[in-house]
């Protein structure tokens, strides 16, 4: 994979600041007093038991859900060719089945760019995600892994300053997951995109995060915030430090996860 | 205890119907041939039901004299205008109902109240409102097509996955862009299925409307032939209507194959 020159612009980037975020669905409080900061170009991995409000928090960060309390601030400078500073990557890919790969990637560019400029950008991000050969395929013809590559290509096409990824790999098999994670980590690190990465898989969290925020079970609060001070590119899955970190996080959420799971079974919502 | 010994029998067949164009054509042709054979064998009196050959001869004569085209062209024009008017308004209202909760219940209540009314019963009313000429006929078709289109479109919009709309919002797309690029294409399969229903409704209403105060049109022609007990001409008109229905259904089938080839 090649690196486009325009995406390596250093010195820019978005800082994401969450202050006192709280949220409730009717009587159900899902988030309480969340304070988090993601520095420009940093990756925050968000883990926590099922139903603790991770997707809700990401929705709040992306402006798709209005929080009941608190504020989210995005500050910093973005490149001139950035068309959607804060951009989502979806767990279920959210591709339009009636559009080819190429046209799916072009969708968010359509209101902004001429046909020629669109085609150039689409070709560029398809090359970046190794999808060039599938540009004219329908989504139904792709494997799950390739569909999420399209999701990533579409997100990169708008030159985001911040990526919000909600379990982007959880619909995929373990092998594809490992391969794609490496790929995403490289793309994000090289483009210097501020990223929030929600996952259930702790190995993914320690592989991709500069910070790992561990949420408690519902109502979700930040239970621990761990820093991993080493560059994302070049981290190895077998790194003993990362494995130790994974152990620590697992110890923190094990009881929570078990309780949350029991509650899910007792009171399915 | 029971011993099992031997090859596993195949049981995964069936439940996968496929369209066979030749079978459809062969069935229709076979039925016509059978009908002709029964007549020639004298099993059905020609006064009771004219033979296909006699109907064919009448059709041919009507074509040569220009009589057929005179009626058919008038009918086609009404059909095209009436169906298009009903469809355009129906899709617009269906989209609105599917998208805005303020409109949903009020409009659907009106639709539920007016849809079951036979539009044929309203023709005298339409004549008072829109005149005895083209206006009342087009209104009859338009109203008949409008309600099922609203229902099909609103259902299609409801079936568009919410996640796709959220995706559009997450990229900052305008409401209009989301409607155009996500909601409408997502609702298109349901809308096209609705077309199958509304084109048939339109043809039925067309003939009914043309039977009141029209000089031209297949409906008027059929009515006149019926009054004279000219069974050959009557059946010729009916064959034309049936062929019209077949052609329209075929066109929609082609449209579905082209527009929905992503499925
Ligand atoms: N639109 C909604 N209306 C009502 N309740 C909701 C809604 N969305 C989510 N919830 C509830 O809020 C809680 C948090 O949901 P959320 O999807 O944010 O959790 P999550 O941490 O992403 O879970 P998972 O790990 O299973 O994806 C859950 O109990 C869920 O049932
Ligand atoms: Mg979630």
Rounded (10°) CA dihedral A200, A205, A208, A210: 140
Q: Whose CA is nearest to atom 13 of ligand 1?
A: A51
Q: Which residues 6+ apart lie within 8 Å of A264 measured at CB?
A: A50, A51
Across the interface, do A94 and B171 touch by the CB < 8 Å criterion?
Answer: no
- Ligand 1, from A24, A49, A50, A53: best to mutate by most atoms within 8 Å of Cβ? A53
This model of the complex carries an ipTM of 0.89
The Cα-based distances of A112 to A81, A117, A153, A180, A193 in angstroms read 10, 9, 17, 29, 21
Number of the ligand closest to the Cα of A218: 1
pLDDT at B47 over 90: no
- Asked if residue B21 belongs to a domain, the reply is no
B244: tokens are 């019209």
- Asked if residue B37 belongs to a domain, the reply is no
Section A199-206 average pLDDT: 92
Q: Where are the domains of chain A?
A: 95-158
Section B162-176 average pLDDT: 96
Domain region containing B97: 52-259
Per-residue H/E/C for chain B: CCCCCCCCCCCCCCCCCCCCHHHHHHHHHHHHHHHHHHHHCCCCCCCCCCCHHHHHHHHHHHHHHCHHHHHHHHHHHHHHHHHHHHHHHHHHHHHHHHHCHHHHHHHHHHHHHHCCCCHHHHHHHHHHHHCCCHHHHHHHHHHHHHHHHHHHHHHHHHCCCHHHHHHHHHCCCCHHHHHHHHHHHHHHHHHHHHHHHHHHHHHHHHHHHHCCCCCCCHHHHHHHHHHCCCHHHHHHHHHHHHHHHHHHHHHHHHHHHHHCCCC
Whole-angstrom Cα distance, residue A194 to residue A199? 16
> How far is ligand 2, taken at its centre, from the CA of residue A91, in Å?
9
> How far is ligand 2, taken at its centre, from the CA of residue A269, in Å?
14
Give the per-residue pLDDT at A2. 42
Whole-angstrom Cα distance, residue A205 to residue A46? 7
Across the interface, do B262 and A140 touch by the CB < 8 Å criterion?
Answer: yes
The answer to whether the CB of B240 falls within 8 A of the CB of B68 is yes
- How many separate domains does chain B show? 1
Whole-angstrom Cα distance, residue B44 to residue B39? 5
Number of the ligand closest to the Cα of A220: 1
Q: Whose CA is nearest to atom 31 of ligand 1?
A: A269
Across the interface, do A64 and B169 touch by the CB < 8 Å criterion?
Answer: yes
Hey, is A235 helix, strand or coil? coil
- Ligand 1, from A21, A22, A25: best to mutate by most atoms within 8 Å of Cβ? A25
The answer to whether the CB of A220 falls within 8 A of the CB of A54 is yes
- Asked if residue B33 belongs to a domain, the reply is no
The answer to whether the CB of B169 falls within 8 A of the CB of B233 is no
Cβ of A50 closer than 6 Å to ligand 1, yes or no, is yes
Q: Per-residue b/e over A98-110, b at no fewer than 16 CB within 10 Å? A: bbbbbbbbbbbbe
Across the interface, do B262 and A99 touch by the CB < 8 Å criterion?
Answer: yes
Give the per-residue pLDDT at B132. 86
pLDDT at A8 over 50: no
- Asked if residue B15 belongs to a domain, the reply is no
Q: Which residue has the tokens 């068309």?
A: A83
Across the interface, do A64 and B263 touch by the CB < 8 Å criterion?
Answer: no
H or E segment at A29? Answer: strand A28-38
Of B163, B164, B174, the CB nearest to A111: B174
Segment among A241-245, A265-269, B115-119, B132-136 with least mean pLDDT? A265-269
B115: tokens are 């849809």
Cβ of A51 closer than 6 Å to ligand 1, yes or no, is yes
The CATH number assigned to the domain holding B61 equals: 1.10.3720.10
Q: Which residue of A has its CA nearest to B189?
A: A98
Of B170, B186, B263, the CB nearest to A62: B170
Cβ of A23 closer than 6 Å to ligand 1, yes or no, is no
Which residues does chain A have within 8 Å of residue B173's beta carbon, measured at their own beta carbons? 107-108, 111
pLDDT at A242 over 70: yes
CA terminus-to-terminus distance, chain B: 48
Q: Which residues 6+ apart lie within 8 Å of B197 measured at CB?
A: B148, B152
- Asked if residue B44 belongs to a domain, the reply is no
- Asked if residue B32 belongs to a domain, the reply is no
Give the per-residue pLDDT at A1. 42
> How far is ligand 2, taken at its centre, from the CA of residue A50, in Å?
7
Q: How sure is the predictor about B200, in pLDDT bands with cuts at 50, 70 and 90?
A: very high
- Edge to edge, the sheet with strand A222-227 lists A86-89, A162-166, A194-198, A43-47, A211-215, A222-227
> How far is ligand 2, taken at its centre, from the CA of residue A53, in Å?
7
Cβ of A55 closer than 6 Å to ligand 1, yes or no, is yes
- Asked if residue B7 belongs to a domain, the reply is no
- Give the torsion sign (CA, B16, B18, B24, B26): negative
Burial class from Cβ neighbours inside 10 Å (0-12, 13-18, 19+) for residue B41 reads exposed
- Asked if residue B11 belongs to a domain, the reply is no
A69-77/A43-47 β-pairing: unpaired
State pLDDT tens for residues A125-152: 999 999 999 999 999 999 999 999 999 9
Give the per-residue pLDDT at B78. 95
Cβ of A118 closer than 6 Å to ligand 1, yes or no, is no
State pLDDT tens for residues A149-187: 999 999 999 999 999 999 999 888 888 888 889 989 998
> How far is ligand 2, taken at its centre, from the CA of residue A56, in Å?
7
């Amino acid at each position: 994979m090649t690196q486009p020159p325009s995406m390596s612009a250093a010195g820019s980037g978005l800082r994401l600041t969450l202050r006192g975020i709280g949220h409730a669905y009717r009587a159900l409080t899902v988030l309480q007093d969340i304070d988090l900061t993601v520095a420009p170009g940093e990756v925050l991995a968000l883990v926590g038991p099922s139903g603790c409000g991770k997707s809700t928090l990401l929705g709040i960060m992306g402006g798709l859900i209005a929080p009941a309390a608190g504020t989210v601030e995005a500050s910093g400078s973005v490149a001139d060719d950035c068309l959607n500073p804060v951009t989502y990557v979806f767990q279920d890919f959210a591709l339009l089945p009636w559009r080819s790969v190429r046209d799916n990637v072009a969708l968010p560019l359509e209101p902004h760019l001429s046909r020629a400029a669109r085609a150039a950008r689409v070709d560029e991000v398809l090359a970046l995600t190794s999808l060039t050969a599938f540009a004219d395929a329908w989504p139904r013809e792709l494997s799950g892994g390739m569909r999420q590559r399209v999701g990533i290509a579409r997100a990169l096409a708008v030159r985001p300053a911040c990526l919000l990824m909600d379990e982007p790999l959880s619909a995929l098999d373990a092998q594809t997951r490992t391969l794609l994670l490496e790929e995403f980590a490289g793309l994000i690190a090289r483009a210097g995109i501020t990223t929030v990465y929600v996952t259930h898989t702790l190995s993914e969290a320690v592989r991709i995060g500069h910070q790992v925020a561990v949420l408690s079970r519902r109502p979700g609060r930040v239970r621990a915030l761990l820093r991993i001070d080493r560059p994302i590119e070049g981290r190895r899955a077998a790194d003993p430090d990362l494995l130790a970190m994974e152990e620590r996080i697992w110890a923190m959420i094990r009881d929570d996860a078990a309780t949350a799971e029991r509650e899910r079974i007792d009171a399915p919502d | 205890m029971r011993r099992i010994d031997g090859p596993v029998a195949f049981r995964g067949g069936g439940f996968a119907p496929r369209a066979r164009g030749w079978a459809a054509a062969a069935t229709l042709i076979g039925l016509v041939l059978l009908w002709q054979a029964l007549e020639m064998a004298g099993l059905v009196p020609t006064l009771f039901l004219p033979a296909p050959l006699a109907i064919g001869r009448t059709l041919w004569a009507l074509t040569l004299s220009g009589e057929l085209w005179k009626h058919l062209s008038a009918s086609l024009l009404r059909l095209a205008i009436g169906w298009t008017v009903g469809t355009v308004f129906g899709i617009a209202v269906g989209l609105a109902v599917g998208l805005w909760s303020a409109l949903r219940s009020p409009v659907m209540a009106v639709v539920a109240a007016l849809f079951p009314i036979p539009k044929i019963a309203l023709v005298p009313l339409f004549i008072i409102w829109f005149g005895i000429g083209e206006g009342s006929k087009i209104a009859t078709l338009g109203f008949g097509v409008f309600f099922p289109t609203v229902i099909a479109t609103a259902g299609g919009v409801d079936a568009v996955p919410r996640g796709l709309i959220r995706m559009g919002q997450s990229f900052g797309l305008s409401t209009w862009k989301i409607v155009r690029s996500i909601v409408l294409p997502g609702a298109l399969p349901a809308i096209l299925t609705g077309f199958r229903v509304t084109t048939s409704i339109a043809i039925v209403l067309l003939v009914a409307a043309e039977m009141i105060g029209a000089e031209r049109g297949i409906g008027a022609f059929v009515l006149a032939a019926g009054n004279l007990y000219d069974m050959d001409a009557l059946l010729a008109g009916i064959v034309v209507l049936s062929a019209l229905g077949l052609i329209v259904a075929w066109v929609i089938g082609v449209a579905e194959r082209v527009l929905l080839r992503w499925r």
